[in-house]
Amino acid sequence: MADSFDKLMFDGLWVLHWPYRAGVAGLPTHGVVPARASGVLIDTCMRQLLFGRGPRPVIDHPDTPTMEIYSGVQAYRLLLEVVTGLRSTVCGETNVFGQFRRAWQDSLDRLPASITQPLSPLVETLLGDARRIRQQHLQGVGGNSYGSLARRLLAPPRGARVLFVGTGALARSILPFFRAAETGAWNHRPVTPPVVDRWFSTTQADMAARWAEHIIFTTPADAEHDAGWRYRLRHGRVRSLLHLGQRHSEASQWNGVETAFDLDDILGAAEARANIASLQLVRARSACNELAGARFPAAQPDDDHLPLLISARG
Can you tell me the distance from the alpha carbon of 296 to that of 73, in angstroms, rounded to the nearest whole number? 6
Contacts with 109 (C-beta within 8 Å, 6 or more apart), sequence order: none
pLDDT at 92: 74
Q: How many CB atoms lie within 10 A of CB 92?
A: 25
Band (135; pLDDT cuts 50, 70, 90): confident
What confidence tens digit (pLDDT) does each residue in 27-73 have? 766 677 777 888 999 988 778 899 999 888 877 655 556 788 999 99
Apex 43 CA angle, 59 and 58, nearest 5: 10
Q: Does the model's pTM come out above 0.85? A: no
How far is the C-alpha of 212 from the C-alpha of 165, rounded, in Å? 11
Architecture per CATH, 146-269: 3-Layer(aba) Sandwich (3.40)
DSSP-derived secondary structure for the chain: -PPP--GGGGTTEEEEEEE-BTTB-SS-HHHHHHHHTTSEEEE-SSEEEEEEESSPPP---TTPPPEEEEEHHHHHHHHHHHHTTTTSSSTT-SHHHHHHHHHHHHHHHHS-HHHHHHHHHHHHHHHHHHHHHHHHH-TTGGG-SHHHHHHHHH-PPTT-EEEEE--SHHHHHHGGGGTTSEEEEE-SS-----S-SEEE-TT-HHHHHHH-SEEEE-SPP-HHHHHHHHHHGGGS-EEEEEETT--GGG----TTEEEEEEHHHHHHHHHHHHHHTHHHHHHHHHHHHHHHHHHSTTS-TTS-PPPEEE-TT-
Range of weakest confidence among 162-176, 268-282, 295-309 = 295-309
| Nearest alpha carbon to residue 122 among 284, 14, 283, 46 | 14
* β-bridge mates for residue 185, sequence order: 164, 199
| 305 pLDDT higher than 50 | no
Identify the band that residue 310 occupies on the pLDDT scale cut at 50, 70 and 90. very low
At residue 293 the predicted structure's pLDDT band, cuts being 50, 70 and 90, is confident
**Rg of the Cα atoms in the chain:** 21
Q: What average pLDDT does range 286-299 have in this prediction?
A: 82
Band (311; pLDDT cuts 50, 70, 90): very low
Q: Identify the pLDDT of residue 296.
A: 80
Summarize pLDDT for 211-259 with one digit per residue, the tens. 999 999 999 888 899 999 999 999 888 999 999 988 887 767 898 899 9
Measured in whole angstroms, the distance separating CA 246 from the mean position of its chain's CA atoms is 16
* pLDDT confidence band for 10 (50 / 70 / 90): confident
Domain 7-140+277-310 identical in fold to domain 146-269: no
pLDDT mean over 132-147: 77
| Range among 131-135, 148-152, 160-164, 193-197 rated most confident | 160-164
**Average of per-residue pLDDT values in the chain:** 84
First to last CA, the chain: 43
Look up the CATH number of domain 7-140+277-310: 3.30.460.30
Alpha carbons 102 and 27: distance in angstroms, whole number? 20
Nearest alpha-carbon partner for 51 in 25, 20, 83, 28: 83
Residue 23's pLDDT is what?
A: 53
In terms of Cα–Cα distance, which of 204, 209, 201, 207 is closest to 226? 209
Task: For the chain, give every domain's residue range.
Answer: 7-140+277-310, 146-269
